[in-house]
Amino acid sequence: MRRFTGRSDAGLALAKELEQYRDRDDVIVLALPRGGVPVGAAVAERLNVPLDIFLVRKLGFPGHEEFAIGAIASGGIRVLNPAALEMGHVSPEEIDEIAAREEIELERREQEYRGDRPRPTHQGKVIVLVDDGVATGSTMRAAVAALRQQNPAKIIVAVPVASADACELLSREANEVLCASIPEPFHAVGLWYEDFSQTTDEEVKELLQRAEQHLHEHSH
């Protein structure tokens, strides 16, 4: 199994398998920042469809932040994990408090990345949801659950590299799952990239601007 040279290379590999969505005006690529954005940018450019970001922040259990009781996502969407709530005895007030804190950070990032570009509508769209890789799948699953609430026509999860477990879980929740490679044993996403350096906020903004420009120049 080959390693990807970097995130753009990985995006091109995904785009090859998504050719049937090329040039369609009901398709949008949504990338999870930050690492998903260069991958998504390559997919969107190749398919000649819009690129946007979809932010997800997990809601951690008070004192045990790594244990997620749910997540919030772009557009003020909240997804709660029922099992965690039953076990955790977290009051609705506590959840509101945690969510409000995360909401501030999410809005700040969204504002920073998006600037004054309006948030796109997802209703009735075919959404290609992209990240640079999926280990446990919990963030991606939260993204899928959040997007469901906006009534898209279809959600396709597309990732260059993923664990078998995550692919299996996601395939029950998304309409389609495209995992370009499923290494066994999996270990970590970064191992499957020659260059897995951190994507910066600057790069995210630049890629979004470039995608908009590209679409403008190649609009039918």
Same domain, 101 and 201: no
Residue 62 domain boundaries: 57-114
Domain contains 20: yes
220 pLDDT more than 70: no
Q: Which of 87-91, 118-122, 133-137, 200-204 is least confident?
A: 87-91
Mean pLDDT taken over the chain:
93
pLDDT digits (tens, 9 = 90+) for 74-96: 988 999 988 877 877 788 899 99
CATH code, 77: 3.30.1310.20
Q: What is the pLDDT of residue 1?
A: 66
Same domain, 173 and 188: yes
* Predicted confidence band of residue 179 (pLDDT cuts 50, 70, 90): very high
Same domain, 179 and 103: no
169 close to 190: Cβ distance less than 8 angstroms: no
Residue 111 CA to residue 34 CA, distance in Å, equals 14
Query: What is the mean predicted confidence (pLDDT) over 155-163?
Result: 97
Same domain, 71 and 91: yes
Domain contains 1: no
Total tally of structural domains belonging to the chain: 2
Helix/strand/coil (H/E/C) assignment for every residue in the chain = CCCECCHHHHHHHHHHCCHHHCCCCCEEEEECCCCHHHHHHHHHHHHCCCEEECCEEEEEECCEEEEEEEEEECCCEEEECHHHHHHHCCCHHHHHHHHHHHHHHHHHHHHHHHCCCCCCCCCCCEEEEECCCECCCHHHHHHHHHHHCCCCCEEEEEEEEECHHHHHHHHHHCCEEEEEECCCCCCCHHHHECCCCCCCHHHHHHHHHHHHHHHHHCCC
Q: What is the pLDDT of residue 65?
A: 77
CATH code, 23: 3.40.50.2020
64 pLDDT more than 60: yes
Sign of CA dihedral 16, 121, 69, 105: positive
Same domain, 80 and 130: no
Among 114, 133, 157, where does a domain finish? 114
Domain contains 2: no
Same domain, 135 and 185: yes
Query: What is the mean predicted confidence (pLDDT) over 197-213?
Result: 96
Percentage of residues in the chain having pLDDT higher than 90: 77
Radius of gyration of the chain (CA): 17
